[in-house]
Amino acid sequence: MTNRTLLLALVLACSARPVASQSLFNAAGLGVPIEALDGKARALGSFGIGLRGAAFMPADPAAIGRLSIATGVIAGQPSWVDYSSPAGTGESQGNRFPLLGIAYPLLSGMMSFQLGSFLDQHFQAESEGSVDLGNGPLDTTDLFDQDGSVSNLNIGYARMVRPDLAVGLTVGRYAGSVVRELTRSFGTDTSSGVEDYVERGTWAYKGYSVTAGVSADLTPAVRVAGSVQLPTGLDAIASEETGGTDGNFDLPIQFRVGASAVLAPGLLVTGSAYLADWSSTEADLNGGGDAGSTNGVGVGVELSRARLLGKDAPLRFGFRRTGLPFAFDGTGATERTFSGGFGLVLNTTGGVVLAGSDFAIERGRRSGGGITENFWRATVSLIVSGF
């Protein structure tokens, strides 16, 4: 892993044209965290915990115990990014599917299977320079291409232990891979007579985690929840054709708390917080970036009595601020977002939502280490239940 990290640092240091990336902060370490959240959580600026109503997210394993029938959820997330850095400015866009899950009643509780995103590692950068191979200066073009991601496959069980208290436990496995390729082209055309230099490596990721959570209704109007995730290290295993070595990265314990309160009929407020310290991972990056805390807070408001096309369509607004784990200097990096959106209840029976959709749009900024990214991010999720 060391050779590729040093090559990447060289490309970034002299990069004239970063050409493609959903976030430049992908290049500073293992990638950029991608939270497995639905449209409701995104619209409320939430970390996905302590929300009222149907909730099906890895961040809140106990909330799954509040489901009463078989349930499935899927989320899609396009984004559009404008960035500026010492190397220049540009724009990019991409699509993700951060959450897919199924829950089914079992032994007076709910068994769940979830596939959630964890780290995005897609990045591409280009730089130009020159070298002297003995016959005078020769122009060079270096293209670095990194494509990959890490996901978390979770199996969990949750149940109501009292009418006002739910508990849940999830066991997860990290999986994914990344391909890194550095291509150096010589001369402005094929007349240079020097063949391109290509170095390529592939790594597969492996690791495990356990997440425990609790969700309690303090009163009919107030719900609180908390969860803790205990991970193993994340192993990066080089393929046989890869010249680099295996790697291992420390992952932090992650704490989340959240609460929702009904202040008045049709008015709901939410708040959540997140804590994880990635600083122990910095030694594993081999000079590829700085690692620090990713503490964050989020608040939101929901107007639940709004209607659209004769159906319930609660309006939601939120704000969130959180630290990014990796940056290019000691100042750290942060992400701030303002969000809005709505839900749409498509079908209900006996007070149980059989089909519903949630939409969120976020306007955000990431900044740190001389890099600024302004982005729009949309999230659309669908939740379906059946007897």
Task: Please give the Cα distance from 278 to 249 (Å, whole number).
Answer: 10
Residues 382, 334, 248: CA angle, nearest 5 degrees: 80
Hey, what are 133's tokens? 């191979």
Task: Please give the Cα distance from 240 to 224 (Å, whole number).
Answer: 49
Residue 65: helix, strand or coil by DSSP? Answer: helix
Residue 369: helix, strand or coil by DSSP? Answer: coil
The string of pLDDT tens digits covering residues 128-158 is: 888 877 777 888 888 888 889 999 999 999 9
Q: Output the pTM of the full model.
A: 0.89
CATH number of 2-386: 2.40.160.60
Residue closest to 153 by CA, chosen among 178, 129, 170, 130: 170
Residues 235, 239, 245: CA angle, nearest 5 degrees: 60
| Structure letter (DSSP) for residue 246 | P
SS3 content of the chain, % helix, strand, coil (to 5): 10, 65, 25
Task: Please give the Cα distance from 315 to 304 (Å, whole number).
Answer: 6
Domain map of the chain by residue range? 2-386
Residue closest to 284 by CA, chosen among 187, 207, 173, 184: 207
Residue 252: helix, strand or coil by DSSP? Answer: coil
pLDDT tens, the chain, 387 aa long: 544 443 444 444 444 444 456 688 877 678 888 999 999 999 999 999 999 987 889 999 999 999 989 999 999 999 999 988 877 788 888 899 999 999 999 999 999 999 999 999 888 878 888 887 777 788 888 888 888 999 999 999 999 999 999 999 999 999 999 998 989 888 765 555 678 888 899 999 999 999 999 999 999 999 999 999 999 999 999 998 887 789 999 999 999 999 999 999 999 999 999 999 998 888 888 766 688 888 999 999 999 999 888 889 999 999 999 999 988 776 788 999 999 999 999 988 877 888 999 999 999 999 988 889 999 999 999 999 986
Distances in Å between the Cα of 290 and the Cα atoms of 21, 144, 280, 307, 328 are 19, 20, 10, 47, 6
Q: Are 37 and 60 in contact (CB under 8 A)?
A: no
The alpha helices in the chain, defined as continuous H runs, are 2-14, 39-43
